[in-house]
Amino acid sequence: MSLVKANRPEITSLKALASRVESGSRLSAGGHHFARLPIALIREVCQRRVAGLRYFNWAGGLPLEMLLEAEAVESIDICFSSLDVFGLAPKFRKAVEKQGIPMTDWPALALIQSLRAAEQNLPFLPMQSPTGSELNETCPALTPYFDEESQQTLSLVKAQTTDVLLLHAPRADESGNVELYGAHSLDKLVAGAAKQVLVTVEEIVPSGTLQKGLRNTIIPRNKISAIAEARGGAYPCSCLPYYTTDYQRLMEIIQSSQPLESELQQREVPTLIQQAAQLPLSDLLSSYSVLSTDDKDSPATAADIMTIRVARMLSNESYASAGAVSPLANVAYRLAKASHAPDMMFTTFSGGTVDIQAGTMSLTLLESMDTQSAAGHTGGEDTYWTAYQGGLVSHEIVGTAQIDAKGMTNTLSISKPSGGFVRLPGQGGMADVANMHQHFMVYLPRHTPQALVEQVELCSAGRRLVSEEERWKYGYQPGKITLITNLCLFEYDEEEGQLVVVETMPGVSRQTITEQTGFKVLFSDLCREMEPVRDEELALLRNQVDPLGIRRLEFVSAKERQTLLSSIVNQDRQLVTALLKPSA
């Protein structure tokens, strides 16, 4: 089998592009989060009523929800699936919980290396084993390998191709070269391992035009099969520099009882959303100045205290990575960089925007701000190859649904008392980075016996390389395993072999912590109350770094979350409108 394509991709229509997707295909979708998702092309594929698609992708999200609704999916191979700030992906959950569609969870590095092997025409590639995660045994592409020379246990991952990649991009030229702008996701990598690469673009421009772009990345024409111009082809998701994500419209769609197929019919991209993409970096970095917060003088909440405590863990020498759907971590990184750690580095959007400025946390404007302020743009595969695998990253603060006394986490599924199970989003890259990053840091907004358990039902990620000797042997920096909750801060104690409380939240008793924990609680001899939040920290957090209060989304019940999310989305729209007024 050869993945070689013609030097001149066909320029065609959207419908003709979709007609190239056949039933039974292994299918991947480009983009990431709510950025550059090929919405128009997926909608056309769904309308053709293809069936038996084998969905193979880093993430599920909205593309997978659309295909599941159309009953087009036969199997699912992914690392993660959610609707970002809008919560769990309901059709994905239903499909997996009913066990009607086979589902395989992949460690992110395994997926990346499998595609790279195919691109390089190799049967397999080596990788660091995700030791500590059950995925090390359950992912069918992984085979253990012991290297005699280094005395390291590794994994070999089998090459994987995909039949078709659906991709949306800002521009292509008449020769067929495709331009990416901002974070690349895994698009370059998957394009190299795909038999067909079908691309919609906002605009087809004369040959030679793309060479004038200062911060773009090109997928060359001999890796592209066919292209169609589809203006607004990613809407209501973003396609910078043409338009940002329309969170207000996304909220309407996700809350609607109508089918996604009808809600996602192509429409004009609102002028406001197009103009938002053109706002200069200086306006985006100072956007907080047009907002007024209502809680300036109220006492610090658990969300405030946890965010500030996490920020204090970072220093000028930190290199932090913001994973998917981690508002608290994202805000904490920005707070640290805006205050005591201006020289720290951090990346967002799956590592795609590298060494960004702190700025103000928002919904609509965040991607554009990080894209403009980043020192560089890259893809998820590059993030692993140049940073994660080499142990360069010091911190990636991740959330979990369950964690046990040994620091093992579960983001896969949890049994229900009534029978059956609740499917969770998945581990993304946690299975890999639990060992790779210097510090394995986990947070739980709600400390309960159901969340802190004696032993997790399934271990999606956990650090097995714990001791200093083990970590140096594998080329990783020694570091801590840390858990912060709304009640206390734990650190892993090697002698005790479990998490131990080292700090209690202000006003929280040891008895409360013990009662709300599902395993035997040990308190460090040096355990103390957490240092109180300082006025200047709280003011910076609330007024400049996160004036919309996005960090609060993880601290409220499902019922309260809907009200809070609506409020944040509306305030976010008001922020955009206020920033655009001078240029209106």
- The three-state DSSP-derived secondary structure of 521-583 is CCEEEEEEECCCCCHHHHHHHHHHHCCCCHHHHHHCCHHHHHHHHHHHHHHHHHHHHHHHHHH
Q: How confident is the model at residue 335 (pLDDT cuts 50, 70, 90)?
A: very high
Considering only CA atoms, which of 189, 206, 205, 207 is closest in space to residue 197? 189
Contact 79, 59 (CB under 8 A): yes
Q: Which CATH superfamily is domain 10-105+161-263 in?
A: Glutaconate Coenzyme A-transferase (3.40.1080.10)
For residue 1, pLDDT over 80 is answered with no
In the beta sheet, which residues pair with residue 10? 226
Contact 129, 155 (CB under 8 A): yes
Angle at 267 between CA 261 and CA 271, to 5 degrees: 140
* DSSP state letter for 166: E
377-411: pLDDT as tens digits? 999 999 999 999 999 999 999 999 999 999 999 99
Considering only CA atoms, which of 211, 293, 209, 251 is closest in space to residue 62? 251
* DSSP state letter for 215: S
Neighbours of 140 (CB within 10 A): 10
DSSP code per residue over 5-51:
--SSPEEE-HHHHHTTPPTT-EEEE--BTTBS--HHHHHHHHHTT--
Tell me the C-alpha distance between 341 and 296, whole Å: 24
Q: List the chain domain ranges.
A: 10-105+161-263, 302-545
Tell me the C-alpha distance between 513 and 444, whole Å: 13
Question: What is the total residue count of the chain?
Answer: 584
- Cα separation values, 372 from 222, 351, 366, 415, 573, Å: 29, 15, 10, 44, 20
Q: How confident is the model at residue 57 (pLDDT cuts 50, 70, 90)?
A: very high
pLDDT at 398: 94
Considering only CA atoms, which of 520, 394, 41, 77 is closest in space to residue 237? 41
Considering only CA atoms, which of 536, 245, 212 is closest in space to residue 370? 245
Three-state DSSP class for 142?
strand
* H or E element in which residue 181 lies: strand 178-181
Q: How confident is the model at residue 288 (pLDDT cuts 50, 70, 90)?
A: confident
Non-local CB neighbours of 463 within 8 Å, separated by 6+ positions: 132, 407, 434, 435, 440, 481, 492
Contact 175, 207 (CB under 8 A): yes
Tell me the C-alpha distance between 62 and 89, whole Å: 8
Mean pLDDT across 210-222: 91
Q: How confident is the model at residue 582 (pLDDT cuts 50, 70, 90)?
A: low
Contact 126, 155 (CB under 8 A): yes
Mean pLDDT across 224-253: 98
Considering only CA atoms, which of 241, 315, 305, 308 is closest in space to residue 273? 241
Give me the phi and psi of 123, to 5 degrees please. Answer: -75, -25
pLDDT at 291: 79
Q: How confident is the model at residue 296 (pLDDT cuts 50, 70, 90)?
A: low
417-468: pLDDT as tens digits? 888 999 999 999 999 999 999 999 999 999 999 999 999 999 999 999 999 9
pLDDT at 584: 45
Tell me the C-alpha distance between 37 and 169, whole Å: 9
Mean pLDDT across 199-203: 99
Among all chains, which residue has been given the structure tokens 């293809």?
50
For residue 294, pLDDT over 60 is answered with no
460-511: pLDDT as tens digits? 999 999 999 999 999 999 999 999 999 999 999 999 999 999 999 999 999 9
- Of the CATH numbers 3.40.1080.10, 3.40.50.10090, 3.40.50.2020, 3.40.50.300, which one belongs to the domain with range 302-545? 3.40.1080.10
Contact 193, 230 (CB under 8 A): no
Please list the helix, strand and coil fractions of the chain in percent, rounded to the nearest 5, in that order: 35, 25, 40
Give me the phi and psi of 404, to 5 degrees please. Answer: -110, -175
> How buried is residue 21: exposed, middle or buried, by Cβ count under 10 Å (0-12/13-18/19+)?
buried
* DSSP state letter for 270: P
- Cα separation values, 297 from 290, 294, 538, 544, 545, Å: 19, 8, 9, 15, 16
DSSP code per residue over 374-441:
-SEE--HHHHIIIIITTT---EEEEE-SEEETT--EE-SEEE-TTSSEEEP---TTHHHHHHHSSEEE
74-104: pLDDT as tens digits? 999 999 999 999 999 999 999 999 998 999 9
Three-state DSSP class for 210?
helix
Tell me the C-alpha distance between 99 and 426, whole Å: 16
Tell me the C-alpha distance between 107 and 459, whole Å: 12
Neighbours of 182 (CB within 10 A): 26
Q: Fold identical between 10-105+161-263 and 302-545?
A: yes
Q: How confident is the model at residue 50 (pLDDT cuts 50, 70, 90)?
A: very high
pLDDT at 325: 72
Tell me the C-alpha distance between 572 and 367, whole Å: 13
Tell me the C-alpha distance between 201 and 400, whole Å: 37
* DSSP state letter for 449: T
